[in-house]
A and B are shown apart, each in its own frame.
Chain A
Amino acid sequence: DAGITQSPRHKVTETGTPVTLRCHQTENHRYMYWYRQDPGHGLRLIHYSYGVKDTDKGEVSDGYSVSRSKTEDFLLTLESATSSQTSVYFCAISEPPGASKEQFFGPGTRLTVL
């Protein structure tokens, strides 16, 4: 597996509390992504980063913010968690086209919002 870790791996929190998930890579890949996975929806892109301090929205970005202050770290923040954000969150990394196209996924974080 590519060198991607996510922390925490499991989290239970209450509605209205802030939550930050961390993705850490040791591959020096340029692009990083956050997806959420819900039954019946596959994986859906939340936000992605194309470099340090360079981020953009995905298809389900409402209620989420991200930051990337170092190449190796990509943080996903739920400013005020809601029950609809209960999901499994996957981080992924990739290189630019021309290199390998493969997008590698982290082990996932299971988040439960009560």
Chain B
Amino acid sequence: GENVEQHPSTLSVQEGDSAVIKCTYSDSASNYFPWYKQELGKRPQLIIDIRSNVGEKKDQRIAVTLNKTAKHFSLHITETQPEDSAVYFCAASISQGAQKLVFGQGTRLTINP
């Protein structure tokens, strides 16, 4: 089955700097790659997603890139702000009906003022 590896497990950056989180997946049939943000004690919330027919997607300060050949995808956050501090999860799935997400282990991002 699918396996998703996420790095780093913790990341600390200065406010205003950029943050990059990387994930690799094993199943070449996976075609949907969402990123979730989870604040302490809260539910995961989708921040951006990408499908396998797209190489890059951007939404304001957040972007995701996908390399299908290498089977890896990355989350880029620019101009980081204190409210970006949270745990971020990548996931992968084969989107055929039920969306059986396989998650990475998570990255705890801390933005230092």
Contacts and interface: CB of A to CB of B under 8 A. Distances in A.
Interface of A: 1, 31, 33, 40-45, 48, 50, 56, 58-59, 90, 94, 96-97, 101-108
Query: 3 smallest A-B Cβ distances: which pairs?
Result: A42-B103, A105-B43, A43-B103
Contacts of A44: 103
Interface of B: 1, 4, 6, 32, 34, 42-46, 49, 51, 89, 91, 95-106
Contacts of A42: 4, 6, 89, 103-106
Nearest to A59: B1
21 contacts: A33-B100, A33-B101, A42-B6, A42-B103, A43-B91, A45-B102, A50-B97, A50-B98, A56-B98, A58-B100, A59-B102, A90-B44, A94-B99, A97-B99, A101-B34, A101-B95, A102-B34, A103-B34, A103-B99, A106-B43, A108-B43
Nearest to A40: B105
A108 B40 CA distance: 12
Contacts of B1: 59
Contacts of B44: 43, 90, 105
Contacts of A59: 1, 102
B16 to A, nearest CB: 28
